Every structure is written in structure tokens, then in C-alpha cells.
Amino acid sequence: MTLQAPMTSSITRRSMKAEMLDAETETALARAWRDDRDAEALHRLIRAYLRLAISMAGKFRRTGLSQSDLMQEASLGLMKAADRFDPDRGVRFSTYAVWWIRAGLQDHVMRNWSIVRTGSTTSQKSLFFNLRRVQARLEREAMARGEHLDSHQICEKIASEIGVSRADAEMMMGRMAGSDMSLNAQQSSEDSGREWVDLLEDEDALGADTVERRRDHNKLRTRLDEAMDTLSDREQFILRERRMRDEGRTLADLGNEMGLSKERVRQLEAAALTKMRSLLERQGVGVHDLVS
């Protein structure tokens, strides 16, 4: 048993003792977080459904990844779901959370299953999580009929079964059939053998080019900061919330907070951007350098 196992078991035991929320309580907690940013309501909602996250993490244990890491990713998916859940849509939180938890677990598995990124499109994800199961079933059925399927026939049947192109099926079968190999491994058993990394082309930019790009970036950042300082506090707030967050807030959301109409927020944002563009153009900075 690893050192992580006792901690994992402890978390599982605690989650099983968490309260079961009825629909009315669940809705009240979700609204308290959405409307009042009540952190305790959010924590209570998450604790109540932690068992759901742990249960879904268990379904990915055969990927060979750490169970504690899977549980952590499932918990992150649960927290994202709680933060984005809209209780007014008439859907139970568990139904909404399942999608976020599964998506987080699938992305984690595909990021860590191999050093080489396996794929990120919908068809590639479907292949990754279903290929071996479908292949095993097709081979069992063929064996029961006394048939032998070669690799091309298997690939065609898998592509048809999962609903992807044959090229995608062939690519994924090749990737999943191999294993990661260190680039520092020698190409031969001889002591003087070259390492595989020696065959890679050096694509790094020259040092002077890197320094020049960094200097230009810092200069642009300084100009942008100076342009922001010329705006009013309200204009700065709108641009930060709309343009400088990972997920920019909507006009309606800002309007509700500021007591303005959605159209008025849009006008203030457009005016602020126009001011910044004019100042930057006078300083010789291209308009394309400003986020539009």
C-alpha cells in the first residue's frame, strides 16, 4: 500500500458521511453562492456531492494513474460545476456536475497517459476511451464465428463502430500500441552510441532574437499600463473584467453589478478601447497590438 492510500481512504470515508441534500436545500445553497457569494454555502454543496466525484474517479482506475490524482481532478471538476451551476434552470446539481467531473478526468488521463499528447478532439477522445473495449469485443465475436480479423479489418470495424474515420482509428491504435521512450536512450548498445535526442533539430530562436522579443513585449506592456492609467476607474474596471480575465464577464453581469444597462456598459467599453488605441497610435504602437 502506498503512502497516498491511507489519505485516499480517509477522504472516501469522510465523503460517505456527508449529508444528503434534498432539491430545495440544494437550490437554496446554489442561489446563496451565485447571488451572495456565500462561501460556506458553496463548501456545503461541494461536500455533499464529493462522494459523486470519488465514485466517478474510481471508474478511471484502470488507466494506471494514481487514484489520489484522479480524485483530485474529480474534485476540481466538482468545484467548477458548483461555481457555474444555475439553480434556476430546473436541473439537479448532480446531473450538471457529472459532465464537468467526467470532462476533467478525461482531460487528466489524456494529459498524463503518455508523454506524447494522445489527442484532444472529440473523435480522438472517443477512440482513446473506447478503442480497447471495442477491439476486444470484435475479436471475441470473430473468434466465436471461427474467423480471424487482420489489423486492417479490425481497424475498419473499430472506425465504423465508434463513428470515426479509419485514419483516426489507425493513428490511435498505433499510439496506444507503443510506449514512451526516453530521448536520452542510446540508439545502440555501444558505449559510443548517440542518443535519440541528438537527431532532433534545434528550433530555438537565437539568443539575440529572444532578448529583442522580450524587450518589445515589456515595452508594449508598459505602454498598455500607461494607457490604462489614463482611463477612469469605471472604464478600467470594465476592461479588466471583460478583457483581462481568463473568462471575461458578460455585459449583463457587469451591468447588474454597476447598476447600468447592458448597452451602457458596451458603450463605456468601446469608448475606453478607443481612447487606448488613440494613445497607443500616437506612441507608435500598432492598433493590432491591442486586444480588440
Specify whether 92 is located in the same domain as 128. Answer: no
Specify whether 164 is located in the same domain as 233. Answer: no
Residue 53 lies in a domain: yes
Quote the CA–CA distance of 5 and 16 in Å, as a whole number: 17
Residue pair 255/262 in contact (Cβ under 8 Å)? The answer is yes
**At 289, is the pLDDT very low, low, confident or very high (cuts 50, 70, 90)?**
very low
Specify whether 233 is located in the same domain as 274. Answer: yes
Specify whether 285 is located in the same domain as 221. Answer: yes
Quote the CA–CA distance of 93 and 90 in Å, as a whole number: 9
What pLDDT, on the 0 to 100 scale, is given for residue 275?
Answer: 86
Of 35, 163, 161, 143, the C-alpha closest to 88 is 35
Residue pair 4/68 in contact (Cβ under 8 Å)? The answer is yes
Supply the DSSP symbol for 250.
P
Q: Which residue has the higher pLDDT, 125 or 269?
A: 269
What is the tens place of the pLDDT at every residue in 231-287? 888 988 888 888 887 788 899 988 898 898 989 989 998 988 888 888 877 776 654
Q: 142 — phi, psi (to 5°)?
A: -65, -40
Specify whether 25 is located in the same domain as 94. Answer: yes
What grid cell was written down for 102?
467526467
Residue ending a domain, choose from 130, 156, 176: 176
Helix, strand, or coil (residue 192): coil
Helix, strand, or coil (residue 85): coil
Residue 181 lies in a domain: no
Quote the CA–CA distance of 108 and 70 in Å, as a whole number: 8
What is the tens place of the pLDDT at every residue in 171-207? 777 666 555 455 556 655 555 566 655 555 555 555 5
Q: What's the domain range around 149?
A: 122-176
Q: 195 — phi, psi (to 5°)?
A: -85, 155
| CATH number for position 259 | 1.10.10.10
Q: Exposure pattern of 201-234 as b/e (b: 16+ CB <10 Å)?
A: eeeeeeeeeeeeeeeeeeeeeebbeebbeebeee
Number of domains in the chain: 3
What is the tens place of the pLDDT at every residue in 80-119? 999 999 999 888 999 999 989 988 887 777 677 554 444 5
Q: Answer whether 0.75 is exceeded by the pTM.
A: no
What is the tens place of the pLDDT at every residue in 113-123? 554 444 556 66
Specify whether 154 is located in the same domain as 220. Answer: no
Residue pair 66/108 in contact (Cβ under 8 Å)? The answer is no
Alpha helices in the chain (DSSP H): 4-16, 23-36, 39-48, 50-58, 67-84, 93-112, 122-144, 151-162, 166-177, 207-229, 233-243, 251-258, 262-282
The answer, yes or no, to whether residue 164 has pLDDT greater than 90, is: no
What pLDDT, on the 0 to 100 scale, is given for residue 115?
Answer: 42
Specify whether 89 is located in the same domain as 128. Answer: no
